[in-house]
Amino acid sequence: MLETVDGFLLDLDGTCYLGDRAIEGAPEFVARCRARGKRVLWLTNNCSRTATEYAEKLCRLGFEATPRDIFTSGDATIQVLGSEGVTRVFLLGTPSLEEEFRQAGITLTATDPERVVVGFDLGLTYDKLKEACRLIRSGVPWVATHPDLNCPTPEGPIPDCGAICALIAASTGARPRVIGKPEAGMAEAAAMRIGIPRQRLAMVGDRLYTDIRMARENEMTAILVLSGEATREDVAQSPFQPHHIVPSLAFLL
């Protein structure tokens, strides 16, 4: 069913693994892709880790991966801010994301920032939320690395960037600019990184409103796996319909 696909964009959480456990058959799927000459790029909205950290985790779980094989919403956000000449931001994010921003030459500060950037902050505090809201109310534009409401884990879903943004939006009345999936810029950046036209790519993921929406709106093959967030009941109610639905990556190729 995938004769027209030359490359796969793979989500991570809920698609390739849950927590510290690879989803059964996922490493073998990646190996089959490469054996058949199909390229693989992991495309994740979860920017809580760096590409190097993700590659190390994937290797521990039985995948073959290098940092070049991973592109996160954090990478995309840094790319966008850099293209706009932004050098000072107030960031809600993990220490790993903070380090990536610093390495890109962006100063992290609450004093006269040019943007407020909200990511998947696993160390979120009330003081950080309060400061972000204060800055946004003062007129500082704000950016969300991605819109995911929940991150799947073995213990069940936990609040993700989209949930944090919903809280801030409810308090400030302002909506963020979103960078990651399903935005067209993320699709374009992924196609450039993997070196394959969008029409020859398949996006495989577990979220209808990010993975599947991005694929459908950017001329990609949309494949939903039921190993993470979405269920068949969700599909029936969603405006974003996948081309294919499989229980997990083990059922592809």
pLDDT band at 1 (very low <50, low <70, confident <90, very high): low
Residue ranges in the chain assigned as alpha helix (H): 26-35, 51-60, 73-83, 95-103, 126-137, 161-172, 184-194, 213-217, 232-237
Residue whose tokens read 């069913």: 1
Catalytic residue from among 6, 11, 112, 148: 11
Verify whether residue 206 is a known catalytic residue. Answer: no
State how far the Cα of 241 lies from the Cα of 103, in Å rounded to an integer.
Answer: 39
Residue 185 — very low, low, confident or very high, per pLDDT cuts 50/70/90?
A: confident
User: How does residue 154 score in pLDDT terms, banded at 50, 70 and 90?
Assistant: confident
Q: Is 14 left (phi over 0), alpha (psi -120 to 50) or beta?
A: left
Question: According to the model, what pLDDT value does residue 253 have?
Answer: 79
**Domains delineated in the chain:** 7-45+181-251 (3.40.50.1000), 84-178 (3.40.50.1000)
CB of 10 closer than 8 Å to CB of 193? no
Return the pLDDT at 131. 98
Is 13 a known active-site residue? yes
pLDDT in tens, 220-237: 999 999 999 999 999 999
- Residue 181 amino acid letter: K
Q: Which residues pair with 18 in a beta bridge?
A: 21
Most confident of the ranges 69-83, 116-130, 139-153: 116-130
Q: In the chain, what's the furthest Cα-to-Cα distance?
A: 54
**Angle (deg, nearest 10), helices 161-172 and 126-137:** 50
In this prediction, residue 78 has a pLDDT band, given cuts at 50, 70 and 90, of: very high
- Tell me the CA distances in angstroms from 55 to 10, 24, 38, 71, one per residue in order: 13, 18, 19, 11
pLDDT digits (tens, 9 = 90+) for 80-132: 899 899 999 999 999 999 999 999 999 999 999 999 999 999 999 999 999 99
Residue 2 confidence (pLDDT) above 80? no
Q: In the predicted model, is pLDDT for residue 158 greater than 80?
A: yes
